[in-house]
Amino acid sequence: ILANKDPSAKKYAEWTGKACRADGLRYDLRIVDDPINVEDTLIDANDDPRVHGIIVYYPIFGQEESFSGLSHDDYLRDTISYKCDVEGLCHLYRTNLYRNIRFLDYPRNTKKCLLPCTALSVMKLLEESPGCSNSSRPIGQKMRGKTVTVINRSEIVGRPLAAMLANDGAEVFSVDISTIYLFKNGRLEKCDDETPETCVRKSSIVITGVPTKAYRLPTEWIQPNTTVVNVASFKNVDEESLLRIPGVVYIPQVGKVTVAMLERNLVRLFENFHGADSKETPEKESSPWYGNILQLYTAAAVTFMLGMHLALRR
């Protein structure tokens, strides 16, 4: 669903459609001229059995206040059904991510939760980058011992990405315009004594996602052998000076990998909720030990009468 004039959103929509069609997936771009009608369009898509995944290209209302919550865009994210939320940003998936809950159907654990596409693309790129992740370790420990700085704390990228990195064992500094938090061992701590510079200098992985052309990460903060990932649509770092630093690995954009992760999420949604194998058969309820209430009453009455009879005989 596209309901804005943002060139980045339009470009992402084009990439998504091209990739889906190339891979044999049906892609239907629904353009909404008046943003106030997006909610109705979303509800129609939720109820449409032909739709297995929904993506909304934000921002639509930005941080404009909403009667239904902090911002209308946040409200729209939570309007998408978890059975169709291909971006993994609705309330259910966000809460499970922040609580490190990885399955929807505990204790059977057959249906994995979805993860936000852009944050997931960064995780996959780090898995393939030298020295960032150790695949031989168990789940939750693959990035143990790594210190990461994420410069951005948006609900779409920065916050979920910091949580995902921490859930994989890393210590993560989450840097925003006015505050710094540390994600560590499942806990969140405010860091009043840290600055963006001290965080970056301590980190072997630095991820930038500042959505403005004016921002530049000072390259003198970057240590040798650091992996730097630019998630923003603008370049947040001077590439030429960055690559002069010994051993630096630079990933300048993640857009195409993000589209691949969107396709991955779509397949998971189909397997979880829409495919032939996803139809759940209700588990047969086990009968109580006493059968049913009539049998229980009969047994109690017979027991009482037998007891009375024995008592009278004595």
Between residues 304 and 38, the one the model is more confident about: 38
pLDDT at 121: 97
The rounded mean pLDDT for the chain is: 89
Q: What is the pLDDT of residues 195-223, one digit of tens each?
A: 999 999 999 999 999 999 999 999 999 99
For 112, the token pair is 């994995």
Give the mean pLDDT of 69-83. 88
The CA distance from 94 to 100, in Å, is 10
Tell me the H-state helices in 203-292. 239-242, 255-269
The pLDDT value given to residue 116 = 96
Residue 98 has pLDDT above 60, yes or no: yes
Residue tagged active-site, from 84, 90, 113, 117: 117
Query: Does the pLDDT at position 96 exceed 50?
Result: yes
Looking at residue 313, what is its pLDDT?
54
**Measured between alpha carbons, how far is 16 from 210 in angstroms, rounded to an integer?**
22
Q: What confidence score (pLDDT) does residue 32 get?
A: 96
Phi, psi of 286 (to 5 degrees): -75, 140
Split at pLDDT 50, 70, 90, the class of 303 is low
Contacts of 118 (CB under 8 A, 6+ apart): 156, 157, 161, 231, 254, 258, 261
Interacting residues of 110 by C-beta distance below 8 A, sequence separation 6+: 103
Provide the residue count of the chain: 314
The model's pTM: 0.84
Starting at the earlier edge strand, list the strands of the sheet with 147-151: 187-190, 180-184, 171-175, 147-151, 205-208, 227-230, 249-251
By C-alpha distance, which of 201, 124, 207, 202 is closest to 158? 207
Q: Is 90 a catalytic residue?
A: no
**At 186, is the pLDDT very low, low, confident or very high (cuts 50, 70, 90)?**
confident
pLDDT band for position 276 (cuts 50, 70, 90): confident
Share of the chain above pLDDT 70, in %: 86
Residue 100: the pLDDT is 94
pLDDT surpasses 50 at 233: yes
Q: Which phi and psi (to 5°) does residue 47 adopt? A: -90, -5
Classify 215 as helix, strand or coil.
coil
